[in-house]
A and B are shown apart, each in its own frame.
Chain A
């Protein structure tokens, strides 16, 4: 029963109250005063850093958090089942055109996340891995591109490594690094035909991209996860550790570029994240503190009543309850609208690859 949040900040109730008040005013003043509510922290990114992987990327934030992602693909045999085998035979002759369409399976993608200081079955890495994987598998295209023929498929291993200790909530950073690594992943070109044992071209220049790029056409891209938090009426993107400690609610929104139009984005997954503010210590007001001239409440019920009356006094109390429904839709709208946060992030990551 030890506290699981290693990234808990050590701020006093007075500091928390001050931070919250400055984030809740309009316009909000963030911890880094030069940043607006929609600004991300600056980062350095590079791709193709691991020679042994099919695709790789490394992103370092300015506060020293650094993530490394390697994508490896292996050819694997598809297990055959008697019933489905018979049926597939019939269908294969009908639709030879759309090879692989609808044949991909969820188990062909494997994701592992390693965060220093956490065991791999701790809740944080498990949560991160399942969110990353679920957003990746939300659209069919990736799964179907892993299909080689009826007997073989690619198995994709995405290994995510956080090199530094988790200074802030690392979900957004890991997802952006994974996005960049998948975007630059190359698979060897297939030379064999149909149901033959797969044989590949040994020329690396002929390799095909896992996420093919067509000039002038919007193709699908790997998803990217954006962290947003709500403080009072304000919505703040890419919060740092101290800002998270006073959040009313935190949302992680995974989105990818929209299939129909060049602008905007579509959502593939949303999860709420438990804000660490629920675990912060409540402040003790002067009126309840004998050291500052107050009177200590005589009974515990008296203390409870006095605490409940404090709600608007500015003394820090951990937030209760959840997010209003309108706030959720407001956040998603800010993310997906054309010219929104998602589009900005995706185009910025695409620009890294172009050079």
Chain B
């Protein structure tokens, strides 16, 4: 479908994680490497966020959610993945003369995985999941940005995912019950994208109704020792840490208005979805706390810098006067 005709690319299938001899000799060995959730059910992973990282863009931000499980010394393969996303905002800038009239700000979102972002290599051309993520992100932002204040102009939001959350544990791929293609990791990626783009848009100074943040909640089945299946709701799930995720939900949440601009729920949710959306909003409120702190800090640093610069120039002027006088 989306083949790149201008370059000679590697085969589309990609590569799989290497199979080591020991995993075949000892059947129990592979399972002993399986990571498990060490956080509480309502505990989020730590978030690192920084704004204004790209000087040429009008707004930019970088988000990192490091892997929560302890590194294993037994094997070379990391147990879980971490999430690293950069976002840059270009504009608002006038539309080209050839474009038709638009009464409000035209928002373009581009989400792209870096080729090295996941275990299987991604191509250069955006594939369907990336385009789909772009649509989700656009939906999340459209309701937040007050577009009517910028007629005849456009803004481009470019998101690059440097490392993406996986759909499942690497040891499960290829065997039965494989999570490959289930897209649980994409929900985490979307929530991260929403949070980081929101910070970048605030950095660019585009009028918004509120700061939007993303959050994820999931319902996972954990098999106990007595073969009884326990279903538990978790906030901010790391798909590699759970053998079977039943349903998951990502939301873009406006905390001060108590509104949801984007909801993406998938899996067997049953009849009642309130628990999932509520969990996801709780998780979004958690990341809002980080975004608020970072934006305040950035603002303080900016004004501190301006203050010092103006003071500095004042001093120089005074000195100049002294020199001439």
Contact = CB atoms under 8 A, between A and B. Distances in A.
Given A274-B142, A278-B147, A282-B103, A322 B180 contact: no
A278 B107 CA distance: 11
A81 B19 contact: yes
A44 interface: no
Interface stretch (B40-48, B74-82, B157-165, B255-263): B255-263
A106 B267 contact: no
Contacts of B131: 121, 123, 126-127
B224 interface: no
A233 B11 CA distance: 53
Given A270-B273, A278-B147, A329-B273, A322 B261 contact: yes
Contacts of B174: 81, 83-84
Contact of A88 (B99, B104, B176): B176
B148 A329 contact: no
Contact of A267 (B16, B104, B156, B269): B269
B273 A267 contact: yes
B279 to A, nearest CB: 12
Most buried by B among A103, A134, A265, A319: A134
B254 to A, nearest CB: 6
A320 B146 contact: yes
A270 B251 CA distance: 11
Nearest to B129: A130
Interface in B130-189: 131-132, 134-136, 138-139, 142-144, 146-149, 154, 156, 174-178, 180-183
Nearest to B176: A103
Nearest to B101: A281
A64 B143 CA distance: 31
Contacts of B269: 266-270
Contact of B259 (A105, A130, A323): A323
A189 interface: no
Interface SS of chain B: helix, strand, loop or mixed? Answer: mixed
Contact of B181 (A3, A107, A265): A107
B110 to A, nearest CB: 11
A1 B96 contact: yes
A127 B268 contact: no
Given A105-B180, A318-B147, A321-B254, A123 B266 contact: no
Given A1-B99, A81-B16, A106-B181, A273 B139 contact: yes
Interface residues of A, number: 63
Nearest to A79: B174
Contact of B210 (A265, A266, A319, A321): A321
Interface residues of B, number: 70
Nearest to A331: B273
B103 A268 contact: no
Contacts of B182: 106, 137
A239 interface: no
Nearest to B249: A270
Interface SS of chain A: helix, strand, loop or mixed? Answer: mixed
Interface string A310-329: 00000001111111110011
Contacts of A278: 104, 142-143, 147
A129 B262 contact: no
A86 B26 CA distance: 11
B271 A258 contact: yes
Contact of B271 (A84, A121, A266, A271): A266
A258 B281 CA distance: 26
B128 interface: yes
A320 B139 contact: no
A139 interface: yes
Contacts of A268: 266-269
A328 B180 CA distance: 30
Given A86-B24, A87-B27, A121-B2, A328 B277 contact: yes
Interface string A276-310: 00111110000000000000000000001001000
Interface of B: 1-2, 16, 19, 23-24, 27, 30, 95-96, 99-100, 102-104, 106, 108, 126, 128-129, 131-132, 134-136, 138-139, 142-144, 146-149, 154, 156, 174-178, 180-183, 209-210, 249, 252, 254, 257-271, 273-274, 277-278, 281
7 contacts: A121-B2, A265-B271, A268-B266, A270-B249, A272-B260, A304-B149, A322-B252
Q: For the complex of A and B, list the 8 residue pairs with the smallest distance between their C-beta atoms, beginning with the closest.
A: A106-B181, A322-B261, A281-B103, A322-B259, A270-B265, A84-B175, A274-B139, A81-B174
